[in-house]
Structure 1
């Protein structure tokens, strides 16, 4: 089976990997270079931030992130020479209003990665002496949470796919039209009018998914939401754990880079960083770890998250079409839902037993959105 995947961010790339594993041939399209949008820009925490704030359907996919990425890293590294750098740092959360619900969530769900305990000040300082001990007297500690170095993850997958004999690439190729006859897609066209054909067509178009609303006859409620990030350079292994407070986070990399984020702004497709938001992020992160102010700020950037109304992605067959599929709308959790999203999509296309109950993700929900818009 030949499958066209429109969008080569983490969702499209993971979908391609899973379909290749099942013997399919894949053609990947992206309007720019692969892996350059939100997938590159994010932090790479392998869990939703504050999972108790998200629907069960988000956590059902996200809980597979760490083990699936570990498996893929083992498979791909011999071919690519690139390690994803899955960094098992654990996470400290300082939001006191979340202590009780966070501990209750951990106890109720008993997920391996969401084990949590309440730390007193002495234990907190022992685990992460960089935290401001005059401000933070307690924290809940998720010892099993990890982060992935998403630029390396993307480099590895792209390198693997580019040397794979059953993969064809079309980067800097903007697909603008789905050509439909009698309830089937029979080809797609790019902005120059070139036609491409496949057996199945998959839309992994992230923040740009709403573009397809008119052609699909659906209202696709996916909007770009800008998130801004800062990057510091400290000594290797300087910050022992990830830290989070008031939705701001610090993510340490093994080589001493520390990612700081993140904001939420609705500014369309604008990816220009804002100096005001930069100050907000700086203030929040230095409040957690004051010594960070002593190190150089080496980079800042912004990316576009594909927001959906409830954060639950649309994964499955597109209504009214026999051979077109959706895998978009992951909002803040594209990286941590990515591997399970790709696996679920492949299983649905190939009529296999799904990794999770597919009903909550069914794009039939788009018909309801369209009805509400009338």
Structure 2
């Protein structure tokens, strides 16, 4: 089966990876370089932040993220020599209003990744001596990890580019899908080329709304600007991830600390803003005051594919028999990515599914159009 995937972020790349394991040939299109949009810009926490604030459908996919990335890394590393650098740091959450609800969530759901305990004073500061003395309590999630997403993307792309059944078409926007008799019969690129595939996947992230008019659907996905800052400390300087008021610090193995993040609607403008950087820096210095001694080495912003409730669209698109969706993951594309791609592959190849696909059905796009 020949499959075309439009979009080479983590959703498109993992979808391609899953499909070629099952005998498919894949052409991956992207309007820029592969792996350079929101997937690259994110922090890589392998859990929704404050999972109790999300619908069950988000957490259901996210719970597979860590185990599947470990499996993929073991498979890819011998070939690419690029380690995903999955860091098992755990996380501290300092928001007092979330202590009881977080513990209740952990007890109710019994997901190993979301096991939580409330740390007090000395125990907290023994675990992470960098934390400000103003914090004397924290909710601790010992099993939460992060993946170094730029390296994950580099490894995936390097692996896929070595596979004979994969073709990349980069820096090439899709101008239109030619649809006849409820089937995509051709893909037309901006430079006048035409491609034909048995099945077509839209993994277009924040740009997905562009398909609404040609498909006569309502696609409530839009770009939300999320900004990050990067500090450089000594190796293993910060022992855990930290989070307060939706701001976080994510330590990498080599001493880099990724800090974020913001949420703003600036359209497709992904340039960093000085006032947002100041908000991030102020928030992380409040959590870890010593970080102010180290250099701020980079800043950037990505465009998250916002959807109304953060539940992605995965499955067959309405009214077009060979058109599929894997988009709309909002803030959780990296942690939901592996299970989303696996679910898409299972649906496309008519295999049994790892979760009930109903909650992710793109049939919701018709309901939106009628609302």
TM-score normalised to structure 1 length? 0.99
Q: Which residue of 2 aligns with 1:17?
A: 17
Shift of residue 260, structure 1, vs aligned partner: 0.5
d(CA) in 2 for partners of 1:184 and 1:198?
A: 10
Alpha-carbon separation, structure 2, partners of 1:275 and 1:246: 20
1:220 corresponds to: 219
Once residues 106 and 176 of structure 1 are traced to their aligned partners in structure 2, the CA distance between those partners, rounded to angstroms, is: 47
Partner of 2:348: 349
Q: Which residue pairs with 2:109 in the alignment? A: 109
Distance 1:193 1:173 in 2: 10
In 2, distance between residues paired with 1:234 and 1:315? 40
Q: 1:214 Cα shift?
A: 1.0
Residues 228-260 of structure 1: per-residue CA shift (max 9 Å, x gap): 000000000000000000000000001000000
Which whole-Å CA distance do the structure 1 matches of 2:64 and 2:304 have between them?
21
**Residue 72 (str. 1) matches residue 81 (str. 2):** no
1:231 counterpart = 2:226: no
- Identify the residue that residue 26 of structure 2 maps to in structure 1: 26
The offset of 1:108, in angstroms, is 0.6
Find the counterpart in structure 2 of residue 157 from structure 1: 156
SS in 2 for 1:87: coil
Deviations 1:247-286 (Å, cap 9, x if unpaired)? 0000000100000000001000001111111110000000
1:251 corresponding residue in structure 2: 250
Cα distance in 1 between the residues matched to 2:92 and 2:143: 11
Within 1, Cα distance between the matches of 2:160 and 2:131? 41
Q: CA deviation at 1:351?
A: 0.4
Displacement over 3 Å in runs of 4+: none
Instruction: Compute the displacement of 1:193 (Å).
Output: 2.1
Alignment RMSD (CA, Å) = 0.5
- What is residue 291 of structure 1 aligned with on the other side? 290
Q: 1:83 aligned to 2:83?
A: yes
Tell me which residue corresponds to 1:127: 127
Aligned residues: 371
CA distance in 1, matches of 2:27, 2:75: 21
CA distance in 1 between counterparts of 2:191 and 2:317 reads: 25
Q: 2:264 and 2:160 mapped to 1: Cα distance?
A: 33
Deviations 1:95-120 (A, max 9, x none): 00000000000011111111100001
Distance between the aligned counterparts of 1:82 and 1:211, measured in 2? 34
1:177 aligns with 2:181: no
Post-superposition Cα deviations, 1:322-355, rounded to whole Å, max 9, x if no partner, equal 0000000000000000000000000000000111
| Alignment partner of 1:361 is 2:360 | yes
2:269, 2:171 → 1: CA distance? Answer: 19
Distance 2:191 2:272 in 1: 32
Query: 1:345-372, CA deviations, whole angstroms, 9 ceiling, x for partnerless residues?
Result: 0000000011111000000000011112
Structure 2: give runs of 5+ residues left out of the alignment.
none
- CA displacement 1:212-237 (0-9 Å, x = unmatched): 11111101100000000000000000
- TM-score (normalised: structure 2): 1.00
1:213 and 1:205 mapped to 2: Cα distance? 12
What is the 5 A alignment of 1:265-276? 265-276=264-275
CA distance in 1 between counterparts of 2:322 and 2:354 reads 21
Residue of structure 1 equivalent to 2:63? 63
**Offset at 1:287?**
0.1
